Amino acid sequence: MELPGLAFAVWMFSCFYASVDGYPSGKVREACTSMIPCHGSSPQLSPEHTITVNGTEFKPGDKIEVHLSGPDFEGFFIQARDAGHLDSPAVGSFMLVDRRLSQLLTCGRTKNSAVSHTSKAKKKYIKVYWIAPGDAPKRVQFLATVVKKYKTFWVKIPGPIVSQPNTPSPTTTLHTTLETISTSHPVSYLSKPFNASGCGSMKFCIRNPSNCDPESDSCFFLSFQQEKSSIFIEMSGPSEGYLAFALSHDQWMGGDDAYLCVNEDHRVHVSTAYLKGRNPPVLDSENALEDVSWRLVDGVLQCSFRRSIHLPAYKRRFNLDASYYIFLADGEASEGGLIYKHHRQPLITNGIYSVTGRPQDIGGSRSPRLIKAHGVLMFVAWITTVSIGVIVARFFKPVWSHSFLFGKEMWFQVHRILMLTTVMLTSISFVLPFIYRGGWSQQAGFHPYLGCTVMALTIFQPLMAGFRPSHHAPRRQLFNWFHWSTGTTARILAVVTMFLGMDLPALDLPDPWDTYTMIGFVAWHVGIDVLLEIHSYCLIRKVEVIEDDRVQILQSLTSAEAEGRLFKQIVLTIYVCGNTVFLIAFLAAINQI
């Protein structure tokens, strides 16, 4: 029995939507340090919610009223921290006003040092009390993370600063700090952009795109030039937030020596930092950089500075005469200089390099080679081999029923070869991310779960085909439906999985180009499927038996079959060419990242 071809089009648009919340119960202790919810997306800029307090001064033991208000939100997380060291642990403890909306959490060793939501019920206003501890710092600032929806949230919204009596005002303290830094490490403005001259001969350079020049191009550029016992470093890129590079012993973020150029109110601050895991960088209280200069023109941020090759007094600074992977990242920064997670994968060198060794001029990649290979194999399997194999099995049985290949009907052999190729490509591709990650990824959202489901269905499909009943067996019809539904489900889930995978940081294809192209491929496949289905229906209507006075008039079946064969072969050729175009487009995009 032939299965209805239009059913694929119907099935294609019958996927269900499921929403999953990260911490609906408010138990967010995992975010005590970073205050970042694990929702798999980047925080928003320009907060919509505000924190207010009922006073500006406090003494140990005082109780301060804290309010969080704004448009409807589902989740929140409030802490108080040392205003001079916002990366330090939470200070003080909280008291609740409404236990239905808020709950106390213990961050670190301080009991009740944070407040969060109890459910994802919408709320506009939260009120709590903060109790100042006996060992409170001189100045304390309130911070809040607010979740409007699962993918829409703000991190570390700055609140008011309260201080103990006779504490210098924030303005005086800031002025004194900047003045001290300016005295010990002078900062100057670059009158003109630096250039790529000397790359590969006098200085070690990383450029993206390759051969670009920061003097005339809006590109990412990083150079190292050795001058006796120090290294002069230049960094440039299109960013109005921050640029940063890091030296790492591996291709993973964590335990790295980082250097940041951050745009804060149209002034660029250059500092060193230490990367601990996937948490925000820990800025150093002392700066080991000299000859600092910067420039911010037309959305391009440039900074340069000098650093000694060896810094024994700074334990977290790496020696520059060793070999490292080099990361180059960019991202957004708030007006107060707070930096946000880079919205795309950093540019990473393909190997380890010593910046004090032989000068080289290299590039990098924002996508690891194994992840690129994973994407390429999946696109080849699910855009070409499986799609063509399904079209052949569905519409070319009558066309190739009298042609044989290796002792079997040609349509069946072509279908089987293409499907086994799909199984092989999918299986190889499936293991590559596990090799790269060294295990399961917690940062990839639903993509790995759907990928495992597709892999299971891909293996199950040929195993089921191995037990296919004969043509006239009673269970053949049941087998046909199971075989069709399993294959169709695998194809739908594969498309959904590719949609999700294209926007993951490790394979961040150009957006929204990738989405529109994938939608175009789906529409192309469904359109060809519908066209061939209509053609088959018209052909059946054309070949009919008319009875008149017991004389049977039969339109030439042979000519109709020939006409149908030619049409289907033309459509198949066009379809294969179209799929090839889509595949080449995706492969070219992967090659560019």
- Among residues 309, 237, 321, the alpha carbon closest in space to that of 245 is found at 237
Question: In terms of pTM, does the model score above 0.85?
Answer: no
91 close to 80: Cβ distance less than 8 angstroms: yes
Q: List 550's β-bridge partners, or say none.
A: none
Question: Residues of 241-257 as b/e, b for ≥16 C-beta within 10 angstroms?
Answer: bbbbbbbbeeeebeebb
Single out the residue of 464, 385, 476, 573 nearest to residue 2, CA to CA. 476
Q: Is residue 40 packed enough to be buried (19+ CB in 10 Å), middle (13-18) or exposed (0-12)?
A: middle
Per-residue pLDDT of the chain (593 residues; tens, 9 = 90+): 344 444 444 344 343 333 334 455 556 666 788 888 877 677 887 788 999 999 889 988 899 999 999 999 999 999 999 988 888 889 999 999 888 899 999 888 788 899 999 988 899 999 999 999 888 999 999 999 999 988 888 899 999 999 998 776 543 333 333 333 333 456 788 888 889 999 999 999 999 888 899 998 889 999 999 998 999 999 999 988 899 999 999 888 888 999 999 988 778 889 898 888 777 787 776 678 989 999 888 889 999 999 999 988 787 889 999 999 999 999 888 766 677 777 778 999 989 999 999 999 998 888 888 888 999 999 999 999 999 999 998 888 877 767 777 778 888 899 999 999 999 999 999 999 999 888 888 778 899 999 999 999 999 999 998 888 888 888 888 998 999 999 999 999 999 999 898 878 777 677 788 888 999 999 999 999 999 889 888 877 765 543 444 444 444 444 555 567 788 889 999 999 999 999 999 888 887 76
Of residues 169, 172, 162, the one with CA closest to residue 59: 162
* Among candidate residues 470, 582, 235, 507, the one with its CA nearest the CA of residue 345: 507
Domains and CATH numbers, the chain: 29-163 (2.60.40.4060), 188-365 (2.60.40.1210), 369-592 (1.20.120)
Phi then psi dihedrals of residue 123, to 5 deg: -145, 155
